[in-house]
Amino acid sequence: MDPLSHHVTHDFSPIFRVHNTGNIERLVKHDFLPPSKHPDTGVLSKDVVVSQQNGVTARIYLPPTQGPDTKLPLIIYVHGGAFSVESAFSSQYHNYVNYLAVESGSVVVSVEYRLAPEHPIPACYDDCWDATKWVESHSTTVGQGEDPWITDHVDFKRVFVAGDSAGANIAHEIVVRAGAESELGIEFIGLILIHPYFGIGNVEHLWNFICPEPTGPNDSRLNPSAHKNLLSNLRCERVLVCVAEKDSLKERGAKYHEALESSDWNGVVEFFETEGEGHVFHLLNPNSDKAPQLMKRMVEFINK
């Protein structure tokens, strides 16, 4: 091919670029860490397949327990990355979820979903729903799961869903789908949204590219604030919305909080803002002075 004819057709810097050859150039790089026993926390981790059909996997984190009969909360965690980058298996997320597991005393299932644009929306939502159904298969209601880390250690009356950025968006959709799934065998106590990526009614060029369906800027998955009827049916008791003062997405999280608070939903929504910090600062700089404050607020929410 003539080098001069090789060009970028879609530029979503600093996330990814698409070339006319079809090549996806991801601008956010990450490593991969294997599951392990974490040297600082003592948390054990392992990888499991949650959907044979789509090859969806997850990493389970088991904190040190007081014995084989100890029952712990469970967190379904969804990583961020604009639906397009990052991994549950990167060092950034692996290390963070280790600390989340030990600080909150929870089993965590961190989902490795398929990424856009190679796998357009709704693949990420479907994969995380498959992971939710896999967790459900271990509950006393269904009782078909075979992973002892789940069956032996999880209190299915204390199940949470959490995520950051685009992962918070997906986490929210899990709870929305749960509200429409009357036969789901688990109940969610809480939803934790960390610096959520939602729409606010404006055109979102990235969303339009990775979601080929012509849904518009008020798609209920992108902009749930525009659909108070769906918010009213959220299947959880409590929601924690976390934002950061210098985050360009702060307004979106605040708008979601206001919409949920003014809806007919019967739960309790809480709001927490970190001053002087930007988007997912706790992941980019886990040693920052404010990172422990955010972790403490989440742990309080889980163990309330």
Which active-site residues does the annotation give? 165, 247, 279
What phi and psi, each to the nearest 5 degrees, are found at residue 209?
A: -80, -40
Residues in the chain: 304
Alpha-carbon gap, residue 173 to 42, rounded angstroms: 32
75, 104 contact by CB (below 8 A): yes
Alpha-carbon gap, residue 231 to 262, rounded angstroms: 10
Look-up: residue for tokens 């889980």?
302
For residue 13, the 8-state DSSP code is T
C-alpha closest to that of 42 among 128, 84, 105, 130:
105
63, 43 contact by CB (below 8 A): yes
Look-up: residue for tokens 């709704």?
122
What are the structure tokens assigned to 69, written together? 């009969």
